[in-house]
Amino acid sequence: MLPRHARIVARLLERLPGVGERTAARYVLHLLAAEPALSLALAKALEELHERVRPCERCGNLAEVEPGAPASPLLCEVCADSRRDPTLLCVVARVQDLSAIERSGAMRGRYFVLGKLVSPLEGVGPDDLPLDLLKQRIVDEGIREVIVATPPSVDGEATALLLSRELATTGAAVSRIASGVPHGSDLEFADQVTLGRAIAGRR
């Protein structure tokens, strides 16, 4: 049985995905056996996490808040990268999916993070998605092609269908990543080759 304060730390670590009671206790014992500097560095870094890392105001990706720099608009690395194709936009559900696609190196354009998928079961309808923002951006930036990279799940496909209809008025071509991605899997854990092929084989 861990001392009370160690249990408090363990209970908080259990809120991380996939961390159970045993794993949390293991983490705490490891931290206690290590130099205090590790726990203190982690404490300091976590304290600043939400201040220093915020959503990109253009695409919803994570962006670093530079202490000295003028704050508006806050742009992520991808949006700030002028070598990106400004006419190509990839729509993803989550930041994790954006990171996975970036790792594949197959996307030359920029992104738009939806934040959620339409889901009748969870009561998420088309009105809950930032469709107006997306359309506005496509028009404002003269986007010529939108690649819909929502996951190959029921909700992901429903969202892709919704987008292909909704974005028809913008004049941009709407494509869908190919089903090289195994059905029902999570984009975050797809390997780079699979993701690269899915993007190259879009239709």
Using CB under 8 A as the criterion, which residues of the chain lie in contact with a second copy when the complex forms? 1-6, 8-9, 12-13, 15-18, 22-23, 25-34, 36, 38-50, 52-53, 62-64, 76-77, 95-96, 99, 102-103, 188-189
Sign of CA dihedral 23, 26, 28, 34: negative
Q: Which residues contact 79 (CB under 8 A, 6 or more apart)?
A: 56, 58, 59, 61, 63, 110
Q: State the minimum distance, in angstroms, from the CB of residue 121 to a second copy.
A: 20
Q: State the minimum distance, in angstroms, from the CB of residue 102 to a second copy.
A: 6
Q: State the minimum distance, in angstroms, from the CB of residue 58 to a second copy.
A: 14
Q: Quick one: 103 or 183, whose CB is closer to a second copy?
A: 103
Largest CA-CA distance found in the chain, in angstroms, rounded? 63
Amino acid at 180: G
Q: Tell me how far apart the terminal alpha carbons of the chain are, to the nearest angstrom.
A: 57
Q: Quick one: 16 or 139, whose CB is closer to a second copy?
A: 16
| Burial class of residue 43 in the structure, from the number of CB atoms within 10 Å of its CB (0-12 exposed, 13-18 middle, 19+ buried) | exposed
Q: Quick one: 56 or 167, whose CB is closer to a second copy?
A: 56
Q: Quick one: 3 or 70, whose CB is closer to a second copy?
A: 3
Q: Quick one: 81 or 85, whose CB is closer to a second copy?
A: 81
Pairing relationship of beta strands 88-92 and 62-64 according to DSSP bridges: unpaired
